[in-house]
Structure 1
Amino acid sequence: MHLIITDAWVAKSRALHLTGVQLVLAGLSLSAVLVLTSLGLYHWVFLEGARQGWPVVGPMVKLLLKSEIESQDAVMRDNLDAMAKRLGQMQARLVQLESLGERVAGLAGVPAADPKLRGAAGGALIAPRAMTAEELSHSLERFDAAALGQMDWLTVTESRLFEQKVRSSRLPTQHPVEGVDTGSGFGWRVDPITGQSALHSGLDFPADTGTPIVAAAGGVVVFAGWHAAYGHMVEVDHGNDLVTRYAHASQLHAKQGDLVRRGQKIANVGNTGRSTGAHLHFEVLVAGVPQDPQKFLDAGRLAAQPQEARAGPSTRVASGPRR
């Protein structure tokens, strides 16, 4: 493209040669300048019109701003309403958690805490209505305090339940020979060897030689060896003057000083010592005084009854001369 520029004062002409690319760039530059100029004028006119209150521009600007503000308010209101509904659901769950915590605490023997101390959030549920940001903030702070209070309260309950579990794990409620009916019970009977009346200080479990014998509760082995009357015998101390005795074993798997857990194999059924047949003689002693082991085993059965769907007693007394 050729452009000829003529100067009338000096009677001179000048020729410019523009290629296609240069022409396009010049057009784009001119367009950009026009757009920026238009935007600047538009912005200035609206700002000045809003400040000065021009008859046409002022109301137009206010209308646009009002529409934008209303749109933002609608979005914010929707968000606040959604948060209010979530808070209502949170409060309902917190009330359920509080009720569950009270029941668990009752099982653990923990007294119900003062609602002010554990941050209770009972009462009417938050309705799905319009709420201000300040109301939502206050509700969130209240729920946070309630959650912290519930956490502290449940921590105390957990500690108490753990203590109870430890205590129960030290009570001889586990059957020492699983799946075996009991023989001679605790109490006075005719001695199968002497034929005279004598106190049977334990509970017999007739079983084949080699049948596993397990600890009825956790504790420390205080004796594991030979006894003239009891044969191969194991004694486990469970603390608080509570000791269990496992006699007439064919083989011992625990030694003195061992720490054993409930259900751990400690020996095998045998016919050693003063015995007339293969069986386990099981005793429970409190401060050295023999107790009826069946009472402890029945307590364990009743405690496990819900999990076993009330399957009924797992032991039956069978006759048979055992010592």
Structure 2
Amino acid sequence: MKVIVINRKHGGSRSFELGRWSRALLSLCCLGLPLGMVAAGYVAGLESEAQALRGESVDAMADELAQQSQELEAIRDEAEQKLQALTLSLAELQARMTRLDALGEHLTAMAELEDGEFDFSQPPALGGPLAGEFEVDYSSLDLTGELESFSRRLSDREQQLAILESLLNNRRLEDEAWLSGRPIEKGWVSSHYGKRNDPFTGQPAFHHGIDFAGKEGSGVLAVAGGVVTWVGERAGYGHMVEISHGDGLVSRYGHNKQNLVAPGDVVRKGETIALMGSSGRSTGAHVHFEVYKHGRSVDPSSYVRRTRR
């Protein structure tokens, strides 16, 4: 292959003869340059696309992290609310347990149980050998279910204790209405029930009660709980108090210095209802004690000798 080079300035020309290798090199340069440019452009495009993809991936990861952060915050808020609810539930259960302990101590005192037999101020004593080695999976514990179960047990305990208290109160009411003991704290029997010589006439007469002599102004006590049905002066009795105890039983307390109750009052066993005196047909400070059963006078001695249930 021959190449002619023309010089415009001098008007001359020169020719070169290209051999086979020269022609090959020239062809390679002429073809390789465009191909190289195309290849460089392709590589640059790939790099740009890779950078764009990396940017999109980073943005997607940032969005996902932000969403996960929001979800984590929501979970944390929900857990906080549940924890507060559990705390309130535990506080309520603790208050109920405190009331149950107080009720248990009250019932123990009412039942007059021996010291140490029941102690509601201490947790129950528990124990026993470990039945094999095991691990507790705390992740599987249902705290809400445990609280509900604990609440049900407390409700059952409250109901049983309420029934026990009702039974004890009924028993106490029966004890209150049980006529027994003397109508005075200190003193002696100065006259029995039945026939005797009248202290004013000296003639035989029937005495419908028992006279308990003592110090003037000392307390006159109700021998049983009941309702006051009469307060005032009555012929022969002086200042008198009458109490109805139910089941047809009525007790009377005469010759009082001063009555301390009024009609309609509910009195308890052993309550002071009057002060001992010598009002009415009396020779000295004493209380005239009578018991009526279904409207008929009966000997109070059997009731005086009774003991508490």
TM-score bracket for the superposition, by shorter chain length: 0.3 to 0.5
TM-score with structure 1 setting the length? 0.46
Q: Report the structure number with the largest CA radius of gyration.
A: 2
